[in-house]
Chain A
Amino acid sequence: MLGRKGRPKVERSSLRSLYSRIFRHRKSIAAGIVALILVDGLQLIIPQILRKLIDGLAAGTAQSDFIWRMGLSVVAIAIGIAFCRFFWRVFIVGSSMRLERDLRAEFYSHLQKLPAQYYDNTRVGDIMAHATNDINAVRMAAGMATIASFDAIFMSAASIVMLLLIDVRLTLITMIPLPLIALMMTKFGGVLHDRFEAVQKAFSGLSEKAQESLSGIRVVKAYGDEVSERKLFAERARSCVDENVRLTRIWGFMQPLVMGLAMMSSALLLLVGGRSVIGGSISLGQFVAFSSYLAMLTWPMMAIGWVVNLLQRGAASMGRLERIMNTEPAITDGPVEGEPSPAIEVRNLHFTYPGTDTEVLKGISFELPASSTLGIVGRTGSGKTTLVELLMRLYDPPEGTVYIGGTDVRQHRLSDLRGLFGYVPQETFLFALSIAENIAFGAGDLPDSRVRRLADIAGIAGEIEGFPQGFETMVGERGVTLSGGQKQRVAIARALAVNPRILVLDDSLSAVDTETESAILDNLKIEIAGLTNVIIAHRISTVQNADLILVLDRGRLVEKGTHRELLEKDGYYAELYRMQQLEAEAERSRGGGDR
C-alpha cells in the first residue's frame, strides 16, 4: 500500500522511527488501550440491554422492576464508559503529547548544533514549518492514529463476533458492503492525497503572489500596473477555487457513499433479516440487536482509511524531521583539549562559503602574537567579517589555514575555542530579554554591580538608567526599541562580560557619532589592554594604534603592517588616512559633529 504511485513516498525507515518513538511510551499507551477496549466492550453491552428489554417486552414477561433495572444499567454503563474514556484520553493522547514534547526538545537541540552555514541556506520559515506542521503530524499519528486503529480493530472484531453469534448467514450477507468502505477509503486515499496536496500548492501559490505583488506596490503604483497584477492574483485565486472543487469531486462523493454503503447493510438486514424473523429463525429482539451491531461497524470501516492517511502523513513528516536531525553538524569538536593561548596565525587562507562559488577570501596570511591588537580595514564586502567568523569557527576554514595558540582551530574543542572570544558582531542581535540579561548573556549570573560597570565601560550606563525600568527594561517587542547605537554598546558590554582573551569588534561603533566613539574607545583601551584584540573599522583613527593592520580589498590582503609602515608605503591605506584627515578637518571647520 505504501509507496504506491499517487501516494507520498514514505520510506520504511521513517515509518519505523515513528513506531519506535511511539514504542517508547508503550506502558502508558498499553494502559490507554486497555481503557479503550473497556469502553468498547461496555459500549457493546448497551445494545444487549436494549435487546433484552425488547425481548422481554415482546414476550410480555417484562415487569416494571425489570425495566427499571435495564434503564439504570444503561446509566451505570454510561458512567463506566465515561471513566474509561477519561483514562484512555489521558494515557494515549497524553503519551502523544509527551512524544511531541520530547521531539520538540530533540529537534531544537539539534538545530543548535547546526553551523551558521546551514542557516544561510535554509529559510527560517522552513524551519518553523517543520517545528509546527511536521511535529503536529507526528503527534497526530502517535495519538489519534493509535486510538483509531485499536478502536477500529477491537470494535470490528467484537461486533463481528456478536453478529456471528446471532446468525452466521445473516452476518455474512449484511457485511458485504462494509469491506467496500474500507477498500474505497484506501483506494481513493491516494488520489485524495494528491488533490489535497494540489490544494495546498495552489494556496501557497496564492500567498506567494500576494507577497510579491504587495512588496512591489511602489512599482505597481508608479507604472499603473494594478490591473495586470490583479489579473495574476485572480488567476491564482481561481486556481485555488478549481483545486478545491477538484478535491471535493472525490471527497464529496466518498462521504455520502460511505454512509450509503453503511445504510445498505441495514437494507440488507431488513430484506434478509426480516425474512428470518418471519421464518422464526431469529427473534425480533435479535433483529434489533443485530441492527445496532451493524451500525457499530460503520465507524471502524471509515477509520481504516483515516488511520492509513494519518500514519502516512506522520511518517512523511517524521522523515522530514529526521533528515534535519540526521544532518551531521558540520562543525564539531576537535581532539585537542584545554584553552589555547590567544595567539592568531592565518596561513594562505582561501575561503568560499559552502554552497556558493565566489571566493570571498583569497590567500590571506598574517601572524598576531597574544596580547596584541589587530586592525582590519577595507571596503564593504572585502571579507573582513568572514575572516573573524572563521577565527571562531562559526564557519569552518579549510584545514591548515587558521591557527590559534599554534594549533589548527579545527583541532580544538569548540567550547575551548569559542570561550576565548568576546564577539561584537557587525549586525547587533539582542534577545528578547532585559538589558541586564542581555549584558550577562554569555556570562551566566553576574552581580548587578558588574553589569553596571560593564555598561559603563561601553558608555551606555547613563542611557540605560534613564529608562523607567533601568537595567530591567525589556528589549524587543514588549519593551523599548533601542537605537542602533544603543544596541551596539549593549553588545560591547555583553562581549566584555565573558572576560574574553580575544575581543573581536566588528565595526562595532558604526552607529554612534565620532565623539561618543572616541570616548568609548578611550574607556575601552584600559579594559582591553592585556587582551588580544581584533578590530574591524572604517575609521582609521580606530585602528591606527594597532600592532598590525590588514587592508583587505575584494578578498585580497592588499597591505599589511603597522600604521607607520603603511603610511610609508603610501598605498591604499595612506590614501584612506589622508582622506579621513581631510574629513575631520572639514568637520572641525563646520563647528563639530553637526551633520
Chain B
Amino acid sequence: MPPHHGSPFVDDTIEGKGYDGRLVRRLLSYVAPHRKLVILAMLFMVVSTGVELLLPYITKQGIDKYLAKLYQVYSDTPAACDELMALEPGEGDFLRLSPDTVMVRKASLEGMDPGMVHSLESSGGLLRDTYYLFPGDRFQGEAGRLQNGTWLVPEGELSSIPPGVLFDIRGDDVKGITRLAVFFIGLLILSLFAGYGHVMTLVIAGQRSMYDVRTALFNHIQTLSLNFFSKNPVGRLVTRVSNDVEALNEMFSAVLVNLVKDLLLIFGTISILLFMNWKLALISLSVLPVFAFVSILFRRKVREAYRRVRKHLAELNSSIAEDVSGVKVVQAFRQEGSRRARYLSINENYFSASMKQLYIFGVFRPAINVIAQTGTALVVIYGGLGTISGAITIGALVAFLSYVQQMFRPISDMSEKYNIMQSAMASSERIFAIMDTRAEITESPGAAPPTTLEGRVEFKNVHFAYEKDTPVLRDISFSVEPGRSIALVGPTGAGKTSIISLLTRFWDVDNGGILLDGTDIREHFQETLRRNIAIVLQDAFIFSRSVADNISLSSDLTMDEIRQASDMVQATDFIERLPKGFDTVMAERGATLSTGQKQLICFARALAHDPRILVLDEATSNVDPTTEQLIQKAIETLMRGRTSLIVAHRLSTIQKCDEIMVIDSGRIMERGTHQELLARRGIYYNLYLLQWGEQFKKEGP
C-alpha cells in the first residue's frame, strides 16, 4: 500500500482563519495560571520599548539644547519687543539685547503658534540668520560681532573660532551633552536588563503554559477509548502532542506578545509624531492606507503561492517515501528510470512553484519598502519646508525622520506574523478537537466500590461491531466458572480477540452483557476490572523503562515480589544476564530482547499482578525450542488457579484448558473438550489437522 496515509510528511492543511476569538480565549485559559509572569513580562516590555522610543528623543534634546544653540535676531519697536518678551516661553529662549532687539532661540519657535511665527517673519522683524551667542567679554574678533555686550557668531562662521576658545565658552553645553550621554547609557543598561527580563519571563510563561497544554492533552488522550485509537493513528496523535503544541508556543512567543509590543511601538510612535507636530504627522501617515492595501493584497498572493509550494513539497516527500518503501519492486521491474522521471517532474513543479513564490516576494516586499520611503520623502518635503518657515526645528525634523522610518518596520512585520498565527490557529483547532472528544467508556455512577472478585465470567447474548453493519460478534453466550479455563480457537478474523477485548472493556458491547461474578462489567468500578483481570497481548509490549518497572508497572510491588514473578515464569535467568539485571532500562519497544524474552517478561507482568482472571492472546511467532518450552511452562503457571480465557495457537495450551470453544464468523460453532471435539470431526477436527497435524503425527492424539 502506498504510504500516504497518516504519513507525517504530508502536511496537514494550512487552511483556517488567522484569528478565532473562541480559540484564543481557550488558549489564554492555559496562560492564565501564569499570568503573574506574563504581567511581569509586559512590564519589562513596556520599559524596554519605552527606552527604545526615548533614545532618539534624547539625541534630539542634545542637538536642540546643547549642540544647535542657535538664536535669531528680532528687531522691532520697543513696545513690540516688550510684547514678545511677555510671552516668556522658557528660560534662555528670549534674550533682550537692547530695547529694540530680542534674540529668539530657534528651537523655541517650534513651540510657538506657527501663525504667529509667520507674522513675526513677514513683518520683517524676525530675521532668518542664525547666531551662536557668547558672552561679550570673550570677543576676540576672530568671527562675528559684538552687540550690546553679547558676542554674536553666525552659525557658518563658528569653525573659524579656535576649538579651545569654544570649549571654554561653551563649557555648560559640553557638560550638558555629557550629562545627557551618561543618562543615555544609564537608560541603555536599564533597557538591557528589561529586555532580558522580558525574554526570560516570556519564555518561562510560554513554556509552562505549553507544558500544561501538553500534559493535559496527553492525559486526555489516555482516557479516550480504543475506538478513538483505532480511528486515529498513533503517529497523528504524537504530532498533536509534539508539533501542534509547539506551533502554539511559537504563536505565544513570536506573535501574541510581540504583537502587543509592535502595536505599542506603532501607536507610541504615532502619538509622539502627533504630539511633536500633528500636521507633519498626518502627512507622513497618509501613506498608511496604501501600505495597508498593498500588504493585504500581498498576503493573499503569498498564501496562495505558499499553499502551492506546500502541496508540491508534500507530493515530493510522499513520492520519496513511496519509492523507498517499494524499492524492491522498482528494482525488480527496472523502473528506476521511469520513477526518477516522475520524481524529477514533481521536483520541477516544486521548483517552479517556489520560484513563483519568490517572484511574489520579490515584487511585493520592495514595493512595500517604496511606500514606506515615500512616507520619509513626505516628511523631508513638508518638514523641510516647515523648517524654512520656522514651523519646525531641525532637531524635531531629525527626530521625526527617525520615528517615521521606525514605524514602518513593525507594520510590515505584522503581515508576516499573520502566517504563524494562521498555522497556530489550525494547530489549536486540532488540539481542542481532541480535547473535546469525550471518552466513550466511563465509570458508571452507581458502580460498586473496588472489590476482589471470585472470577466467574459470563457472556450473555453479546453482539458487537467495530463499525456499524459489519458485525464481529453475534449472539455470543457462554460462562466460565471461577478457576476454570477456556481456549478460544478459530480462523483469523473470527472474533476471538474481540471477545477478550470486550472482557477488559477496551470496547463496550452493543447488545447483551458481560457479567463478572454476576454483575455487568459496566456496573463494576474500572479499578475492580484492573485489579482482577490481567491481560497478556499478542504483541508483547515492552516499555522503555527498567525490567522491574515493566513487570510491576504502576502497582507498588516489592523487588521480592517482582523477582518471584519472574522466577515463576523462569525469566530471572536471562534478566540477570542483562547489563544491570532488573534495573536494565529497555530500548524502545524492548528492541534488544528476543520475541520470546519479551513474552516471558509480559507473563511475569501478568503473574506479578496476581489476577483472578487471566486473559491471554497467544502470540503465533516462532521461537527457539528452549524458549518455547519456557513459554509453555509459564502459561501453565499463569493459568493455575485462575479463571482463564485464552486465544490459543499452541496445541499444548489448548490441551491444558478445561474447555475449547471454536469461534467462526463471530459465532460459537463448537464447544467441548479436546477429545469431544476431535470425535465430532467438525471444524475443530479440520483445524486441528491443518495446524497441528505435524505435531499430531509426532505426539499422537
Q: How far is the CA of A582 from the CA of B696 in the complex (A)?
A: 14
Nearest residue, chain A, Cβ from B609 = A223
Q: How far is the CA of A431 from the CA of B335 in the complex (A)?
A: 12
Chain A residues bordering chain B, tally (CB within 8 A): 148
Residues of A within 8 Å of B336, CB to CB, are: 112-113
Q: Contacts A90-B359, A224-B554, A252-B196 given: A266-B59 contact, CB under 8 Å?
A: yes
B537-555 at interface with A (beta carbon < 8 Å): 537, 541, 543-545, 549, 553-555
Interface status of B663 (Cβ within 8 A of chain A) = no
Residues of B within 8 Å of A264, CB to CB, are: 185, 188
Nearest CB on A from B474, distance (A): 16
B516-531 at interface with A (beta carbon < 8 Å): 526-527, 530
Interface status of B331 (Cβ within 8 A of chain A) = yes
Interface status of A257 (Cβ within 8 A of chain B) = yes
Interface status of A53 (Cβ within 8 A of chain B) = yes
Which of B210-218, B257-265, B415-423 has 4 or more CB atoms under 8 Å from chain A?
B210-218
Interface status of B458 (Cβ within 8 A of chain A) = no
Contact present for B324 and A127 (CB under 8 Å):
yes
Within the complex, which residue of B58, B158, B354 is in contact with A280, where a contact is CB–CB below 8 Å? Answer: B158
Interface status of A514 (Cβ within 8 A of chain B) = no
Interface status of B200 (Cβ within 8 A of chain A) = yes
Interface status of B593 (Cβ within 8 A of chain A) = no
Contact present for B332 and A266 (CB under 8 Å):
no
Interface status of A389 (Cβ within 8 A of chain B) = yes
A202-217 at interface with B (beta carbon < 8 Å): 203, 206-217
Interface status of A79 (Cβ within 8 A of chain B) = yes
Interface status of A101 (Cβ within 8 A of chain B) = yes
Contact present for B199 and A267 (CB under 8 Å):
no
Q: How far is the CA of A10 from the CA of B9 in the complex (A)?
A: 28
Residues of A within 8 Å of B351, CB to CB, are: 97-98, 100-101
Which of A20-28, A156-164, A227-235, A337-345 has 4 or more CB atoms under 8 Å from chain B?
A227-235
Contact present for A203 and B67 (CB under 8 Å):
no
A/B pair count, beta carbons within 8 Å: 424
Main secondary structure of the interface of A (DSSP, over half): helix
Contact present for A267 and B204 (CB under 8 Å):
no
Q: How far is the CA of A426 from the CA of B194 in the complex (A)?
A: 66
Interface status of A467 (Cβ within 8 A of chain B) = no
Residues of B within 8 Å of A97, CB to CB, are: 351, 354-355, 358
Q: Contacts A267-B181, A280-B161 given: A222-B207 contact, CB under 8 Å?
A: no
Residues of B within 8 Å of A228, CB to CB, are: 549, 553-554
Interface status of A476 (Cβ within 8 A of chain B) = yes
Residues of B within 8 Å of A60, CB to CB, are: 128-130, 155
Contact present for A86 and B363 (CB under 8 Å):
yes
Interface status of A128 (Cβ within 8 A of chain B) = yes
Q: How far is the CA of A498 from the CA of B338 in the complex (A)?
A: 14
Residues of A within 8 Å of B63, CB to CB, are: 284, 287-288
Residues of B within 8 Å of A62, CB to CB, are: 384, 387-388
Contact present for B234 and A214 (CB under 8 Å):
yes
Which of B16-24, B76-84, B374-382, B566-574 has 4 or more CB atoms under 8 Å from chain A?
B374-382
Q: Contacts A210-B237, A244-B203, A248-B200 given: A111-B359 contact, CB under 8 Å?
A: no
Q: Contacts A210-B238, A432-B322 given: A425-B214 contact, CB under 8 Å?
A: no
A536-595 at interface with B (beta carbon < 8 Å): 575, 579, 582-583, 586-587, 590, 595
Q: How far is the CA of A49 from the CA of B158 in the complex (A)?
A: 23
Contact present for A222 and B328 (CB under 8 Å):
no
Contact present for A218 and B506 (CB under 8 Å):
yes
Contact present for A260 and B191 (CB under 8 Å):
yes
Nearest CB on A from B227, distance (A): 12
Contact present for B333 and A441 (CB under 8 Å):
yes
Contact present for A109 and B340 (CB under 8 Å):
yes
Interface status of B329 (Cβ within 8 A of chain A) = yes
Contact present for A124 and B324 (CB under 8 Å):
yes
Interface status of B579 (Cβ within 8 A of chain A) = no
Which of B115-123, B169-177, B476-484, B649-657 has 4 or more CB atoms under 8 Å from chain A?
B169-177
Interface status of B296 (Cβ within 8 A of chain A) = no
Interface status of B489 (Cβ within 8 A of chain A) = no
Contact present for B321 and A223 (CB under 8 Å):
no
Contact present for B242 and A203 (CB under 8 Å):
yes
Interface status of A105 (Cβ within 8 A of chain B) = yes
Residues of B within 8 Å of A431, CB to CB, are: 2, 322, 326
Interface status of B241 (Cβ within 8 A of chain A) = yes
Q: Contacts A238-B211, A270-B62, A583-B690 given: A119-B327 contact, CB under 8 Å?
A: yes
Nearest CB on A from B139, distance (A): 17
Within the complex, which residue of B174, B367, B376, B534 is in contact with A278, where a contact is CB–CB below 8 Å? Answer: B174
Interface status of B55 (Cβ within 8 A of chain A) = yes
Nearest residue, chain B, Cβ from A268 = B181
Contact present for A210 and B177 (CB under 8 Å):
no
Residues of A within 8 Å of B685, CB to CB, are: 586
A409-455 at interface with B (beta carbon < 8 Å): 414-415, 418-419, 421, 423, 425, 429-432, 441-442, 444
Known: A116-B328, A218-B506, A277-B67. 9 other contacts (CB 8 A): A75-B373, A90-B362, A111-B324, A127-B324, A233-B218, A248-B204, A259-B191, A280-B161, A432-B2
